Structure 1
Amino acid sequence: MLDAFRTAAAYPQGATAVSLPIDIMTKGTKTSIPALPATAFTPPEYGTSPSASLSRAASMIQNAKFPVLFLGTRAATPDAVQAVQGFLRKHPIPVVETFQAAGSISQDLAHLFFGRIGLFRNQPGDKLLAQADLVIVAGYDQSEYDADAWHKSQSLEILHLDWIPADYGAFYNPKLELVGSIAANVKALSDILANVSRPQEFEVAKSIFTEFHAWEQSPQALGQTGDGPIHPLYFIKLMQGMLPPSPTVSSDVGSMYIWLSRFYFAYSPKSFLVSNVQQTLGVALPWAIGASLSQEPPCSRKVISISGDGGFLYSGQELVTAVQQGCNITHFIWNDGKYNMVEFQEVDKYGRSSGVDLGGVDFVKYAEAFGAKGLRVSRSSELEAVMKEALSYKGVCVVDVEIDYSHNHELMRNVIQDNIS
């Protein structure tokens, strides 16, 4: 049992499961082993890599003309984020994140942030990586975004920083690995580096940065495409403007997680909860409940969760838990009556869709049946007022949003080539 706690708390951190034999579960058992001290549950600490390795890494960074920092999920811990942000203030270079590393870059460093990458290789951050001659990869798990997607050329020089050795292969082949505390190694590098190139000042990087932010002034984001179902960009921009600093937002799996991961800005680690390994549908609401209950005091601040209509039906019954526990959650359902993420990929591959139709659920009445508040919005002109009402409500509120997914097939289009001018 002790090992389970130590394994869960040690890096890389994660859940553990304990299987007890049936005879122990069904009968009492006595032991002469005394209780272990609380310190036994504390995992060992990690430090820096050898000084010779740090010196080699520093030389790689100083010799690079276009270094890019690539942050993965294990670099999104509070201590690692603090070290990374300190590094960037001292040695500013462009940064990209995986979806699960969201929130690693603070708002004062947003001028160095070139977006999140994952799933399909068609984002500004992907274009930035294609320009790099050195990629400093920190805390990256290949399950987040396969290396054969973002490193097709197999020509990039890679510096690996993580708690664990690299999962080495044809597409992920670091020239050097710094294994140990990510925070400690980043800080050590920051202290010994000098004269690091600033590729964000190059014209090609400026062009990519402009492209990354272009959507913010698009007709879709400004709600200027007609008074019909809500475009995802309009929803995201409107919600972003209404939320307080560093809110907790959880995303389910589905088309909405692509939109949110690409276009929702988060400036604190673990404030945007998303699974880029595509966990089971239905995670958004339970995550929001956990986030609400873990606040101090519990349920004291608004938590936002977002799912599709299909994903919500996987765990919608947990509304009873949220209401009973007094959680302060607003859950938005992006409703198009389909398993849309499956649909647009089926159409792309087979020319038609099959087995994706949903519909027929009155989510307002469903929410009210559990004691939650239910709201519905079907037109862009109504969204601002409904969103304000939902976010100001103290308690559990479910909002059925008729979403415009008519252009979702474009989410997987325009995959970039290896050489970008």
Structure 2
Amino acid sequence: MAKAADVVVQCLENEGVEYVFGIPGEENLDLLESLRKSSIRLVLTRHEQSAGFMAATYGRLTGKTGVSLATLGPGATNLVTAGAYAYLGGMPMLMITGQKPIKKSKQGRFQILDVVGMMQPLTKYTHQLASADNIPSRIREAFRLAEEEKPGAVHLELPEDIAAEQTDSLPIPPSLHRRPLAEHKAILAAVERLQAARSPILVIGAGANRKMTAKVLKQLIDQTGIPFVTTQMGKGVVDERHPRFLGNAALSSGDFVHRALEAADLIVNIGHDVIEKPPFFMVRGGTEVIHVNFRSAEVDPVYFPQIEVIGDIANAVWQIGEALGGSTHWDFDRLLAIREANEAQLLEGADDPRFPLYPQRLVADVRQAMPSQGIVALDNGIYKLWFARNYKAHMPNTVLLDNALATMGAGLPSAMAAHLVHPDKPIVAVCGDGGFMMNSQELETAVRLKMNLTVIILRDDGYGMIRWKQSNMGFSDFGLDYGNPDFVQYAQSYGARGHRLESAEGFLPLLQECLGTPGVHVIDCPIDYSENDRILNTELRMRSAQV
């Protein structure tokens, strides 16, 4: 016989769990004691939301379920945003929350919410552990569902009295499983349509961001020469320095990428998820689309593919490549001309000397400072579009960008999780001042854990992306300004090293110094978004229309 909390931890160890991120409460004390005696490392954070973001990013980077921990009531509600982040973003994560005793309780409804019900729309699975004997099966099922395509968030509630019970139940080993393969007739239909096309194009989405899929996609592109576009969450699946890379679908319309998609007569949409902003809009009688994914397409007014290839994506791409061979009649001249125009436009502003820093200079200098394997974790703001368009990802999962929930506050925790997974890689978090301050307290966690990472705070003293939208929609500038602390002193108060940028020319050497010096670094970087509208909207639409 063993205490139920010990069995929970044994089950976590059985699943290969390395870290539990979170903040325990009194309802978690049995579980906390069991963790103390285990091989699992508890990463104590300063906010449950940060713990959830870290667990989700761990899952995103490893493919294994990240685990977060919170108490009941307010601790559980603080996990909701992170749960939605993992659920929409396809990141395997388990949230464990505590609860008051469910068999006998003397505290009425104090702090008690229906947490299982609250988590229902945000998770693939949510369950209250009401019996110690059922713990192994419920935990195995939670991990199975969290990691099954499409990955996502799951939740278990462990009441205080159940955690203290005795049980003789044992962990259930994970089963050997293989994903189903696409049906042969679907492969042939896709191949026949590709062979009949004049100018096909590939669109690579988040679902293709798997190790084997990245490998076979590169083989297919090298073999056939078919040009490709990435969605924001598909960045880096194939090295974006590839001569057939046409660009990233960062904007909704009017970019060079959209001209390329309009010029193609067949789009092969690989691993795209409708949670991202659509990289293209289908119209009746327009360009045909082949949908290649783990799941069938969710049809809506702008997405209704004519052919669906459903099954393991890597195997489907391999089968298509094997059956396709090469094609001599394809004509990519227009697509590659659009690529050249896009490449020329992306180089503009890379050495702009104006200060505060212009976004093009920011992105170019970060790319120059970062090695191919370095990881950039982006918070959410207008700069995300600049990085999506201008920053070429050389490897998968080297640009951690959220184009699903698109929440602010995740940049710093995501960078911290990246450091734990890849302690040998340079890590940079890029945050707007608004997003940074939502979880800035985690600087203490990063310093306490002796992490090596650099945080770039893009300071414009307001919610810049909303201001851009506000201006574009003809509204007056109102309600989006705020004040900021002295970020250098703020960083130093946590034991980090603070740096104040004072010129555009000083940014690259300062960033290189931070990346080469152990510890947590914070760079206060004034940013100028005044030309966002001209460059990302008016001018870009005019120039791309001329290609």
TM-score under structure 1 length normalisation: 0.91
Per-residue CA deviations over 1:313-371 (Å, capped at 9, x if unaligned) read 01111001111111110110111111000101011113312221123310000100111
In 2 relative to 1, CA 318–31 (structure 1 residues): closer, same or farther, beyond 3 Å?
A: same
Q: Which residue of 1 aligns with 2:200?
A: 67
- The answer (yes or no) to whether the contact 1:249–1:304 under 8 Å persists in 2 is yes
- The answer (yes or no) to whether the contact 1:216–1:237 under 8 Å persists in 2 is no
In 2 relative to 1, CA 104–200 (structure 1 residues): closer, same or farther, beyond 3 Å?
A: farther
Question: Where does 1:166-245 land on structure 2 (aligned, <5 Å)?
Answer: 166-196=297-327, 201-202=332-333, 204-218=334-348, 220-224=349-353, 226=354, 228-245=355-372
Distance, in Å, in 1 between the alignment partners of 2:296 and 2:170 is: 36
Between stretches 124-133 and 44-53, larger displacement belongs to: 44-53
- The answer (yes or no) to whether the contact 1:121–1:150 under 8 Å persists in 2 is no
- The answer (yes or no) to whether the contact 2:443–2:494 under 8 Å persists in 1 is yes
Q: Which residue of 2 aligns with 1:272?
A: 399
TM-score under structure 2 length normalisation: 0.70
Distance, in Å, in 1 between the alignment partners of 2:202 and 2:359 is: 29
Q: Which residue of 1 aligns with 2:275?
A: 143
Distance, in Å, in 2 between the alignment partners of 1:284 and 1:322 is: 13
Deviation at 1:32, TM superposition (A): 4.8
Deviation at 1:199, TM superposition (A): 5.7
Distance, in Å, in 1 between the alignment partners of 2:450 and 2:162 is: 36
Between stretches 119-128 and 263-272, larger displacement belongs to: 119-128
Q: Which residue of 1 aligns with 2:226?
A: 93
Distance, in Å, in 1 between the alignment partners of 2:404 and 2:210 is: 18
Q: Which runs of 5+ in 1 are unaligned?
A: none
Q: Which residue of 1 aligns with 2:95?
A: none
Structure 2 letter corresponding to 1:136: V
Per-residue CA deviations over 1:230-278 (Å, capped at 9, x if unaligned) read 1111111122112112211111100111111111111111111000124
Which structure would you say has the larger RCO, counting Cα contacts within 8 Å and 6 or more residues apart? 1
Structure 2 letter corresponding to 1:291: A
Deviation at 1:10, TM superposition (A): 1.0
Q: Which runs of 5+ in 2 are unaligned?
A: 1-138
- The answer (yes or no) to whether the contact 2:246–2:336 under 8 Å persists in 1 is no
Distance, in Å, in 2 between the alignment partners of 1:343 and 1:29 is: 55
Distance, in Å, in 2 between the alignment partners of 1:197 and 1:396 is: 54
- The answer (yes or no) to whether the contact 1:266–1:272 under 8 Å persists in 2 is yes
Structure 2 letter corresponding to 1:88: I
Q: Which residue of 1 aligns with 2:475?
A: 351
Q: Which residue of 1 aligns with 2:420?
A: 293
In 2 relative to 1, CA 396–199 (structure 1 residues): closer, same or farther, beyond 3 Å?
A: farther
Per-residue CA deviations over 1:43-78 (Å, capped at 9, x if unaligned) read x31142121111111001111111000011011111
Which of 230, 241, 265 in structure 2 is aligned with 1:133? 265
- The answer (yes or no) to whether the contact 1:7–1:13 under 8 Å persists in 2 is yes
Structure 1 letter corresponding to 2:508: E
- The answer (yes or no) to whether the contact 1:300–1:328 under 8 Å persists in 2 is no
In 2 relative to 1, CA 370–212 (structure 1 residues): closer, same or farther, beyond 3 Å?
A: same
Q: Are 2:145 and 1:16 aligned?
A: no
In 2 relative to 1, CA 320–181 (structure 1 residues): closer, same or farther, beyond 3 Å?
A: same
Per-residue CA deviations over 1:4-51 (Å, capped at 9, x if unaligned) read 1001111112222223456535xx2344544312x33x5x31142121
The residue matched to 1:394 in structure 2 has which SS?
coil
In 2 relative to 1, CA 30–156 (structure 1 residues): closer, same or farther, beyond 3 Å?
A: farther
The alignment-based identity, stated in percent, is: 27
Deviation at 1:143, TM superposition (A): 1.6
Deviation at 1:140, TM superposition (A): 0.5
In 2 relative to 1, CA 244–372 (structure 1 residues): closer, same or farther, beyond 3 Å?
A: same
Distance, in Å, in 2 between the alignment partners of 1:60 and 1:356 is: 50
Deviation at 1:280, TM superposition (A): 2.1
Q: Are 2:206 and 1:79 aligned?
A: no
Distance, in Å, in 1 between the alignment partners of 2:414 and 2:394 is: 19
Q: Which residue of 1 aligns with 2:294?
A: 163
Structure 2 letter corresponding to 1:10: E
Q: Are 2:165 and 1:29 aligned?
A: yes
In 2 relative to 1, CA 256–278 (structure 1 residues): closer, same or farther, beyond 3 Å?
A: farther
Q: Are 2:144 and 1:6 aligned?
A: yes
In 2 relative to 1, CA 197–170 (structure 1 residues): closer, same or farther, beyond 3 Å?
A: farther
Distance, in Å, in 1 between the alignment partners of 2:521 and 2:350 is: 24
Aligned-residue CA RMSD in angstroms? 2.3
